[in-house]
Amino acid sequence: MCAAASRGPSSRSAEPSVAEGAGKAGQRLDGAPTARVIVAGASGFAGALAAQLVWRHPHLELVEVTSRSDAGRPLSDLYPRYRVPLELAELDPGRIEADAAIVAYPHGVSAPVVADMRGLGLSVVDLSADFRLGDLPTYEHWYGEHGAPDLLEGAVYGLTELHRDAVREAELVANPGCYPTAALLALAPLAREGLIDDVVVDAKSGISGSGRGGGDANHFVTLDENTTPYKTEGHRHEPEISEQLRIAGGRDVPLTFVPHLLPLDQGELVSCYVRPSREISQDEAEELFRGAYENEPFVEVAEAPPGVRDVRDTNLCRIRVVSRPDRLLVFAAIDNLWKGAAGQAIQNLNLMLGLPETEGLE
């Protein structure tokens, strides 16, 4: 049975939540119940893709899409490519009829919305940073006051490959940042074995990672034929990566992280330069990574350097490890909107709802 059914408060879901729309009915394969999902903040890049992935998912029903800035507009006006035939609404917690929510609001704005959703009993995947850091002072240092600190403890960090069992049991999942997703998939197998003395992560992202706003900063003419580092004094994904490396390996890992913008739309590559605690041969390194990911549906250990184009519009992370005399190099490519945001949100939601992990993502 779909986990969502037992979780949705019965007073609000007395009727079976099976989709009835003609267009979607054709996708129902087996009469299994369908979880009703709201996507809050669907006018941003990640939220819009999340809405599309829910829309085309065989066991999820997209019941509502909301937006603070574009309420009243059809989502397909903003994203014709996604062809989701719903209109963006103002979020009104009083009339939510759903089993689960994907929340794609900005950091800080998200926490109170998540609290409302949780109060209504919904399973929530939050795409903001609000519940990613277990350490409240670290959060406050980078993001300011927290809007729902009491929910922090129950939140699960949703890098699925690292915390699958916890995600399965979670009612609130903090979806990781795009850079941490790629960096941690690249580094976790080494961190777990205590093999990292220190690491430099040089990250490169397509422009969709910058979000829909930005004025001059995201103008085509600013970014075309350009590449530039940014947040060179420190980026807030750095403590997120550090905390998870510490959790994985049980000790602090000195980390230098610098992001760069690339003149492309979707795609992210992290190049990790590890000073290993001992010499590791190419064979051992490859074996370690293959072992770590052999049963993972969304991680590929490649034999050549990965390109972001190899994973575009997929939920895959493609990894290559290279042993050099004093360094271990690990390269990981993802689509920042998929595995780095909306795709991983569906992956997590599938687990939370008792659905097959890969459903709707292939």
Q: Whose CA is closest to 238, among 157, 87, 129?
A: 129
Options 2, 178, 272, 317, the catalytic residue? 178
Q: Give the interface size with a copy of itself as a residue count (CB under 8 A).
A: 67
Q: Is 338 exposed, middle or buried (0-12, 13-18, 19+ CB in 10 A)?
A: buried
Q: Is 187 exposed, middle or buried (0-12, 13-18, 19+ CB in 10 A)?
A: buried
Q: Annotate each residue in 327-356 with x if it binds a copy of itself (CB under 8 A) or - if it does not, as one string.
A: x-x-x-x-----------------------
Between vectors from CA 258 to CA 337 and to CA 102, what angle results, nearest 5°? 25
202 belongs to the binding site for a copy of itself (CB under 8 A): yes
Least distance from a copy of itself to the Cβ atom of residue 228, Å = 4
The window from 94-102, 132-140, 187-195, 299-307 that contacts a copy of itself (CB under 8 A) reads 299-307
277 belongs to the binding site for a copy of itself (CB under 8 A): no
Residue 160, C-beta contacts closer than 8 angstroms, at least 6 positions apart = 167, 298, 344, 347, 348, 351, 357
**What radius of gyration do the chain's Cα atoms show?**
20
310 belongs to the binding site for a copy of itself (CB under 8 A): yes
What distances in angstroms separate CA 201 from CA 125, 152, 159, 169, 183, one per listed residue?
A: 27, 27, 18, 32, 7
71 belongs to the binding site for a copy of itself (CB under 8 A): no
219 belongs to the binding site for a copy of itself (CB under 8 A): yes
Contacting residue, 135, 140, 279, 313, with a copy of itself by CB under 8 A: 313
207 belongs to the binding site for a copy of itself (CB under 8 A): yes
For the chain, the first-to-last Cα distance in angstroms comes to 22
Least distance from a copy of itself to the Cβ atom of residue 146, Å = 25
Residues belonging to the chain: 362
3-state secondary structure of 249: helix
Judge whether 178 counts as a catalytic residue.
Answer: yes
294 belongs to the binding site for a copy of itself (CB under 8 A): no
Q: Annotate each residue in 146-185 with x if it binds a copy of itself (CB under 8 A) or - if it does not, as one string.
A: ----------------------------------------
Find tokens 């549906």 and name the residue: 297
289 belongs to the binding site for a copy of itself (CB under 8 A): no
Q: Annotate each residue in 80-119 with x if it binds a copy of itself (CB under 8 A) or - if it does not, as one string.
A: xx--------------------------------------
